[in-house]
Amino acid sequence: MAFQKAVKGTILVGGGALATVLGLSQFAHYRRKQMNLAYVKAAECVSEPVNREPPSREAQLLTLQNTSEFDILVIGGGATGSGCALDAVTRGLKTALVERDDFSSGTSSRSTKLIHGGVRYLQKAIMKLDIEQYRMVKEALHERANLLEIAPHLSAPLPIMLPVYKWWQLPYYWVGIKLYDLVAGSNCLKSSYVLSKSRALEHFPMLQKDKLVGAIVYYDGQHNDARMNLAIALTAARYGAATANYMEVVSLLKKTDPQTGKVRVSGARCKDVLTGQEFDVRAKCVINATGPFTDSVRKMDDKDAAAICQPSAGVHIVMPGYYSPESMGLLDPATSDGRVIFFLPWQKMTIAGTTDTPTDVTHHPIPSEEDINFILNEV
């Protein structure tokens, strides 16, 4: 199989880092190209799960220690890493997955809880005649529909209201949102529509009434990313992947390829954070799916490797639920500095954000007072 032929012992970088380096449109093209190269009729390979119940952590650790060599070792238990592990194990590859903290403890649980094609990306595609941006939006809308279909218990359509304060903006935004519906095609969740000023204030009584013209409502998806991530990791474990959290990679193992004479990565030295025990996990291929920590793993392979990931911080704040109705969100497209802010209902509360500012990589990032005050001032 094409995927098996790709197992060469090199480090593969997780999608989040590549998206940061290449830019979203280039990454979408790269991802499609790689998917075409690695296309396999996976349905023919998938069978019933090996384990009806996921093995205990102790059993997983024993498997990690006692297996002479895995086909694939995935570092990172976020959405990318868990997805890689599930994809690999259901293709018949002997797979291991290690995560330093809880599954989905990092980027994969700290999102705006939306699954969307990107209204702003479509705007850029049209204004700049960027075909790659357009293709990315179209693909994302297709994946939005796919996620709503395969995980209806964790995903649901969500109407989002766009308030309009100038008459000329009403037809401008309306055309843009209708194009968004058009690009979605058969995957359009529900047609967008216009609300009068009075109806808009019924949904969001705290809106500024002065100069409010009306509002446009369009549909995107809302998604519980952390639970989805955990479900993927558990499914990989049920299919036989050796999956363990609180396992930190402290160094990479290397060996010389007898065919080429080149030194290549052959696994990792792992440490059980809970007990301090260390042991080697050997594998033909190591996948680096550590998100913002991509460069730290790359430097384990080559200490002189140039950094390829530019980390940035997106901050959300949680506010009382009365800031938004339970069944509708709000989009502010014109904040004081041009950034977009969402107000979304979530778990009987309201999430407001997000910001996007350069930052240093830390294990436990905290929001700055500046970001918090920016969101509060916009509110």
Residues 6+ apart with CB under 8 A from 346: 113, 222, 318
User: Would you state the pLDDT for residue 88?
Assistant: 96
User: Would you state the pLDDT for residue 4?
Assistant: 39
Q: Are 78 and 289 in contact (CB under 8 A)?
A: yes
User: Would you state the pLDDT for residue 112?
Assistant: 87
User: Picking from 88-97, 109-118, 242-251, which range would have the lowest pLDDT averaged per residue?
Assistant: 109-118
User: Would you state the pLDDT for residue 16?
Assistant: 41
> Rounded to a whole number, what is the distance in angstroms from the first to the last CA of the chain?
53
Residue 191 to residue 326: CA distance in whole angstroms:
20
User: Would you state the pLDDT for residue 47?
Assistant: 66
For 338-379, the pLDDT digits (tens) are 778 888 999 999 998 887 778 888 888 888 888 888 888 888
Where does the pLDDT of residue 260 fall: very low under 50, low under 70, confident under 90, or very high at 90 and above? Answer: confident
Where does the pLDDT of residue 211 fall: very low under 50, low under 70, confident under 90, or very high at 90 and above? Answer: confident
Query: Which residue, 245, 230, 250, is CA-closest to 60?
Result: 245
User: Picking from 45-59, 72-86, 164-178, which range would have the lowest pLDDT averaged per residue?
Assistant: 45-59
Question: 319 or 43, which is more confident?
Answer: 319
For 14-48, the pLDDT digits (tens) are 444 333 333 444 444 545 555 554 444 444 555 67
- For the chain, the domains span 57-109+226-301, 140-222+312-378
For 155-200, the pLDDT digits (tens) are 999 999 999 998 998 998 899 899 989 988 888 889 999 999 999 9
- Its pTM surpasses 0.85: no
Question: 104 or 15, which is more confident?
Answer: 104
Average pLDDT, the chain: 84
9: its two tokens: 């012992």
One CATH from 1.20.1250.20, 3.60.140.10, 1.10.3720.10, 3.30.9.10 for 140-222+312-378: 3.30.9.10
CATH topology of domain 57-109+226-301: FAD/NAD(P)-binding domain (3.50.50)
Query: Which residue, 245, 214, 215, is CA-closest to 229?
Result: 245
- When pLDDT is averaged across residues 109-133 and rounded to a whole number, the result is 85
Q: Strand 214-223 vs strand 114-115: parallel, antiparallel, or unpaired?
A: antiparallel
- When pLDDT is averaged across residues 282-293 and rounded to a whole number, the result is 94
Where does the pLDDT of residue 261 fall: very low under 50, low under 70, confident under 90, or very high at 90 and above? Answer: confident
Could you list the beta-strand ranges (E) of the chain: 11-13, 70-75, 95-98, 114-115, 155-164, 193-196, 214-223, 242-244, 247-256, 263-272, 278-288, 312-313, 316-319, 329-332, 341-346, 349-353, 357-358
User: Would you state the pLDDT for residue 97?
Assistant: 97
For 141-150, the pLDDT digits (tens) are 999 999 999 9
- Say whether 140-222+312-378 and 57-109+226-301 share the same fold: no
Report how far apart, in Å, the C-alpha atoms of 56 and of each of 69, 95, 100, 337 are: 21, 17, 17, 50
User: Would you state the pLDDT for residue 46?
Assistant: 55
User: Would you state the pLDDT for residue 39?
Assistant: 46
Where does the pLDDT of residue 226 fall: very low under 50, low under 70, confident under 90, or very high at 90 and above? Answer: very high
146: its two tokens: 């796919």
Q: Are 192 and 217 in contact (CB under 8 A)?
A: yes
- When pLDDT is averaged across residues 240-259 and rounded to a whole number, the result is 92
